[in-house]
Amino acid sequence: QQPVQSPQAVILREGEDAVINCSSSKALYSVHWYRQKHGEAPVFLMILLKGGEQKGHEKISASFNEKKQQSSLYLTASQLSYSGTYFCGTGHSGNTPLVFGKGTRLSVIA
């Protein structure tokens, strides 16, 4: 079942922060975050496994709340290079493939 992402789109000025949410109606085993720039392939950012952990990747970090069946991606002090569409992919066991949300379009302007 496709996870729900919010917001659908967000516009930021350089240096501002953003949060992108990903919710599932089913119990989650893992959450994967990808970023896709226009006309390019999605690129892996990070994976979170059940356990409520938080991970970081430069100024981009994420949390995973297993009980609430949701994950959030945090972008701090945004840069122009952060622009793109962010997808969360959810896995419900170690053997099932990811189901992706519809994406959140992030635009960072100067």
Partner 1 sequence: DAGVIQSPRHEVTEMGQEVTLRCKPISGHDYLFWYRQTMMRGLELLIYFNNNVPIDDSGMPEDRFSAKMPNASFSTLKIQPSEPRDSAVYFCASSFGQIEAFFGQGTRLTVV
Question: What does the DSSP assignment read for the chain?
Answer: ---EEE-SEEEEETT--EEEEEE-SS--SEEEEEEE-TTS--EEEEEEETTT-EEEETTEEEEEETTTTEEEEEE-S--GGG-EEEEEEEESSTTS--EE---EEEEEE-
Contact status: 43 vs partner 1 (CB under 8 A) = yes
Stretch that binds partner 1, among 13-21, 39-47, 58-66, 76-84 (CB under 8 A): 39-47
100 binds partner 1 (CB under 8 A): yes
Applying CB under 8 A, among 4, 21, 47, 50 the residue interacting with partner 1 is: 47
* Choice from 12, 23, 75, 101 touching partner 1 (CB under 8 A): 101
Among 1, 13, 38, 41, binds partner 1 (CB under 8 A): 41
**Nearest distance from residue 91's CB to partner 1, in Å?**
7
